[in-house]
Structure 1
Amino acid sequence: MINFAEIENRVMEFRNSLPFPHMVIDGFVEKKLADSLTDEFPNIGDSSLYNYSNPLEKKSALNDWNKFPPNTYKLFEFLCSDFFVSYLSKTLGIKLYPDFGLHGGGWHMHPDGGKLNPHLDYNIHPKLGLQRRINLIIYLSKDWLPEFGGHFGLWSNNPLTNKPEKLEKEVEIKFNRAVLFDTTYKSWHGLSRQVNTGGKNIRKSLAVYYLCDPPEGAEIRERALYAATEDQKDNPEIEDLIQKRAHSLFYKDHYISKSNEK
């Protein structure tokens, strides 16, 4: 089901990559399975999807196991299984735990105009109290062209401002390509280019996150911390939104911007 050999071939790449540990794995799952997974995604207008629409992010997502079709359900079950989590723990040298609730994971879809500002993921799981450690994202858009955008971006961190400093790497979206990275290194990531397919395609991905025991003195961040893009810098409304979006109590009121409410 999974391209274990390629994961193992890229362990040194993972450890030595900049700006933070990561690896890119092509042909992540068997092609027949990848074909079925992309076909199981819902229509972007499906009422079951949760829509994020604000100046920091534009996407649709779903993490409800009951809504996943058979192959998607089985893959998530495998990626959260004792077998795979133990394998990943041994391969990376990190004791990991699955998040069966897929908090922040599941299906992710970006239509035209889709965006995701550079951000740091939550650091401490709001219900389990464990530290989020490893992200696994599998891209499943067929016939995706580089000019469609939606590249996965990795930024370095400015330790003085605690904000992204430089876009160090872009990963093109390709069908059945996966990115696996460590989120505990001030790992600023997001979409480095807005999605623009002219209505021809949807950026589709599956996401699973793995947790670890938090080290003593670990930063407590229960919600994602976003950063402004270049065209948003010095905008007080954006900075206010960033603070509210990161607040553990007020975040739900700011997924959808006032201008987009219907």
Structure 2
Amino acid sequence: MLMRSSIVRSNLALDGKDFAIPYRQARPFPHIALKDFWDAEQIAEISRQVKEFSFFDGEKDFYGTQKKRYCGAYERMPPAVRELIDTCHHPSFIKFLEDMTGEKDLVGDPRLIGGGIHSSRTGGFLKVHADFNWSEQLGLYRRLNLLIYLNSGWQESWGGSLELWSRDMSRKEASVAPDLNTVAVFSTDESSYHGHPDPLSCPEGVTRDSIALYYYSPAQPIDARRTKRGISEYRSRGISDFLSSVKYKLIDKFRGR
């Protein structure tokens, strides 16, 4: 991937050590939500270009996720999105992530496997899961997720907040609203369970948009239980997932599908 000359500016001083304590002490696993992170004009333009984007690779439609369009093809992405990705793969930004999280030798994924532009429509959801933790293409372990939200005027009643669940899946412990210019970063391991598992109730034509980027390391994880897993593992919330399924079917029935 070629580094472009234009850099998306941050509104925050990029010293990861300033955020190290809240990140590493967060529960249920290390994470942080940084609001108003990017330059307001630049992120607004990125949001506009994503809202108008239509060259998706496909749309996911299975048990784990519904009505989620995705594009990991860097060459097809709008120019402002490519500049944002380049910024997030720049050595200075990776150093910020390393200083904040304590990870070492991080590498951004140039192929954007599973990442890139994500756009979920009305009724869409992503069930609670732990991500794949090994990239066969890179030969590296996945260590961090970075999500950049692009949704101006998003209403809480529409759902769609990123939920972080306890390691025993007994309760939701934290959530992050997908508001424009919010950046969520969290560590990926065997039980970093997360998702937005309830069907979105936003109006037709409104989408929940984000840029997803993943970072890898050659270091063997400390977690001795970890195995090289190339697929995500989904977890049930019990009765909550049953009610979510009923709500999804009712939304489709109400809208005549």
Q: What is the TM-score of this pair, normalised by structure 2?
A: 0.82
- The equivalent of 1:199 in structure 2 is 204
Please say if 1:51 is aligned against 2:56: no
Query: 1:50 deviation in Å?
Result: 1.5
- 8 Å CA contact 2:150–2:209 kept in 1: the answer is yes
Counterpart code for 1:57: T
- The equivalent of 2:254 in structure 1 is none
Aligned equivalents of 2:197 and 2:163: distance in 1? 5
Aligned equivalents of 1:199 and 1:93: distance in 2? 42
- The equivalent of 1:182 in structure 2 is 187
Percent identity for Structure 1 against Structure 2:
26
Deviations 1:29-78 (A, max 9, x none): 1001111101111557x353310012220211101011111111111111
219, 223, 234: which one aligns with 1:226: 234
Which residues of structure 1 form unaligned runs of 5+?
A: 159-163, 239-262
Counterpart code for 1:97: V
Aligned equivalents of 2:52 and 2:125: distance in 1? 18
105, 130, 141: which one aligns with 1:120: 130
Moved more, 114-123 or 179-188: 179-188
Please say if 1:30 is aligned against 2:39: yes
Query: 1:8 deviation in Å?
Result: 4.7
Give the direction of change, closer, same or farther, for the CA distance of 1:98–1:132 in structure 2 (3 Å limit). Answer: same
Aligned equivalents of 2:59 and 2:41: distance in 1? 29
Describe how 1:29-178 pairs up with structure 2 within 5 A: 29-41=38-50, 43=52, 46=54, 48-58=56-66, 59-95=68-104, 96-158=106-168, 164-178=169-183
**RMSD of equivalent CA atoms:** 2.2
Give the direction of change, closer, same or farther, for the CA distance of 1:196–1:8 in structure 2 (3 Å limit). Answer: farther
SS in 2 for 1:112: strand
Query: 1:192 deviation in Å?
Result: 4.3
SS in 2 for 1:208: strand
SS in 1 for 2:183: strand
Query: 1:12 deviation in Å?
Result: 1.1
Deviations 1:117-174 (A, max 9, x none): 000111111211211101110110111010111010001122xxxxx23211222221
- How many residue pairs get aligned? The number is 229
Counterpart code for 1:85: I
Counterpart code for 2:138: L
SS in 2 for 1:40: helix
Query: 1:200 deviation in Å?
Result: 5.1
2, 5, 12: which one aligns with 2:10: 2
Give the direction of change, closer, same or farther, for the CA distance of 1:233–1:75 in structure 2 (3 Å limit). Answer: closer
Aligned equivalents of 1:175 and 1:202: distance in 2? 12
Give the direction of change, closer, same or farther, for the CA distance of 1:53–1:231 in structure 2 (3 Å limit). Answer: farther
SS in 2 for 1:132: strand
Q: What is the TM-score of this pair, normalised by structure 1?
A: 0.80
- The equivalent of 1:247 in structure 2 is none
Query: 1:233 deviation in Å?
Result: 6.8
SS in 2 for 1:215: coil
